[in-house]
Structure 1
Amino acid sequence: MLAQLGIEFQHVSDCALIDDLEDVLALFVRQEIIDKPMLDLFPNLKVVQRYGVGVDNVNVEYANKRGIVVCNTPQYGQQHEVSNHAVALYLALSRRLLTRDRDVRAGKWDIGQAEPIAGCRDATLGLIGYGQIARATAKRFRSLGFSSVLVVDPALTHSTATAEDVQIVAIEELFKRSDVISLHAPLNASTKHMIGTQLLSKAKPSAFLINVSRGGLVDENALSDALNMGQLAGAGIDVFETEPPNTSNALLGAPNTILTDHVAWYSEAAVTNLQTAAAEQVVRVLSNENTI
């Protein structure tokens, strides 16, 4: 697609490997931090295209001042992969799959009842953020037997909530009532470390926290403390505030956790769709067409 515009595509691990920074018209990025100094390296840059939904790793305000278009790819279908991953983390935690596997391999048998295993029937799901991925997550949890969905999202209207059979609540109430709390909010100044000691102390001891959104939403030390004190039954974490996490990260030693390496978005099909959608948007920008 880019070749049709006479544009060469290069995949590099470092900007120092680019021969002529003045020739760069577009950047495709996933997790790299695209801040003011990075943007200033490219005097003729026209578009920054993020592989993914969030753009918190891009200085959008400065890019806009420079006339640089910043695009994301919310339409490529990752809601299916991420919501599936959220459910997988919950099921693995609640069904104690890791410890059951470990015990069977160690020659132990018929001791599963030694660990509490909660059922799904009539359970309550709490969603913080209610975009496409959260909606897909709600659908999957309902299929497991969850009967109620609580939502915290300032953009959600009561009419939409009623139509979609979800309940708008305050975040404190969500923590008090939910059996599973799943995070789907963007990371910005108002949401950074929104999940801390105070909220975690209100959760049911039988509740699970799932984060497939942004690591910075959670105070990781506070979450580790809550898990160690039994304030939560477990946590499934796919994203960390610093990635990869430092070896000193408290969650690495926290009990009843499953940690994955920011892989919730991934499948081979999703990558193909993602790359195609990203390239299509860059072509539209460089062709002076409207973006989506």
Structure 2
Amino acid sequence: MTTAFNIVVVEPGYANYQVERDVLGPIGGQVTALDWQGDRAKLHAGIADADLIMLRDTVVDASVFDAAPKLKGLVRYGVGLDKIDLEAARERRIMIANVPDYGADIEVADHTLALFLAVRRRIVSRDRDVRAGAWEVGQTEPMQRISGATLGLIGYGRIARAAHRRFAAFGVSEVIVHDPWLTPEAAEAAGVRLATLDELVAQSDIVSLHAPGSADGAPTLNADRLARIKPGAVIVNTARGSHIDEAALIEALQSGRVAGAGLDVFRSEPPGRENPLFAMPQVVVSDHTGWYSEQSVHQIQSLATAEALRILTGEKPVNWVNPW
């Protein structure tokens, strides 16, 4: 079949793109994976003939759109849009769509609990110590009971609600939420208490982040809030690395004010291997994979490809985020 559309998948992406080829091939779509190796010149050259771009976490500014004069649309594999210049795309009549409903609330909520339990129950440091020959180290590393703790959720969308249900199974006594979109009536129905950010950090034993990052990158947990966080709190971040002032977090961990942290995301990704957080036994880290399962990958690729098909065939995408 003659190629009618050039679809460029910007790496890093997924193991293969058979889903995309199966769906877009029948309309003459040629799907190409672009390994640009962090070189913006290679990125621009690789999309020069693209009708549509699909990507995960690449920063997309006006220069990217200008490098692709044929571009009709861009589909983001996932939810967050903070790395894409939506207004620049709108000015050029380039449709941007995302995939907010691929079911990762299950995986991210599971990962949130996994990180928290690994920190609170000291699973990683216990594993290391026992392998090294230590035994009965329990009382040398104080540990607090989960039941009766106060949970603070920053953001209360689908992922946070799923995490709430999982934490509830462990017996948290109260759930405090900061979410400017949550009405008092909805909060009451969900069994949570609304609070300001400052109130939440001062009162919560567990602080779990589930909100989009701010447009300007300002940290939600800045030095001031970390200095006033409830002593002994555990922080879990499976949302955006920009939420946390890492230097201030390191200081709070070193002082003992923050008991531990479970981090799936960082301000700079991938983080440098010299990051002081990596040397701290009370910190458990993962590589921005809270969303991942074999099932979620298949679903996100399928839903993103359906949006690509709509754009290329002249339809409006279901999740069109920069309408005009």
Tell me the TM-score normalized by structure 1.
Answer: 0.95
Between 263-272 and 183-192, the greater mean CA deviation after superposition? 183-192
Aligned to 2:61: 35
CA RMSD after TM alignment: 1.7
Structure 1 regions of 5+ residues with no counterpart? none
Give the one of 75, 91, 98 matched to 2:101: 75
Residues 226 and 21 of structure 1, relative CA distance in 2, 3 Å threshold: closer
Corresponding residue of 1:169: 195
- In the alignment of these two chains, the number of paired residues is 292
CA distance, structure 2, for counterparts of residue 20 and residue 225 of structure 1: 43
Q: Deviations over 1:117-173 (max 9, x none)?
A: 211212111111111111111111111111311111111111111111111101111
| Range with greater deviation from structure 2 (191-200 or 3-12) | 191-200
SS at match of 2:242: helix
Q: Does 2:141 align with 1:119?
A: no
Q: Identity of counterpart residues, as a percentage?
A: 41
TM-score (normalised: structure 2): 0.86
Secondary structure, aligned partner of 1:119: coil
Query: Aligned-pair distance for 1:226?
Result: 0.6
Q: Structure 1 residue 47 and structure 2 residue 73: aligned?
A: yes
Question: 2:26 is matched with which residue?
Answer: 4
- Give the conservation status (yes or no) of the 8 Å contact 1:226–1:232: yes
Q: In the aligned structure 2, how far is the partner of 1:26 from the partner of 1:133?
A: 29
Give, in whole Å, the separation in 2 of the partners of 1:241 and 1:19.
28
Tell me the distance in 2 between the aligned counterparts of 1:122 and 1:177: 13
Divergent runs of 4+, >6 A: 17-20
Task: Give the CA deviation at 1:236.
Answer: 0.6
- 1:233-259 Cα offsets, whole Å, 9 max, x none, are 001111111111123433233451011
Task: Indicate which of 138, 141, 150 corresponds to 2:176.
Answer: 150
Deviations 1:101-123 (A, max 9, x none): 12211222222122112112121
Counterpart residue identity of residue 95, structure 2: V
2 CA distance for matches of 1:32 and 1:191? 16
Query: Is residue 214 from structure 1 mapped to residue 237 from structure 2 by the alignment?
Result: no
Q: Give the distance between the partners of 1:92 and 1:249, measured in 2 at CA.
A: 20
Displacement of 1:19: 7.8
Tell me which moved more, 30-39 or 99-108.
99-108
The secondary structure found in structure 2 opposite 1:9 is strand
1:263 and 1:45 map into 2 onto residues whose CA distance is 30
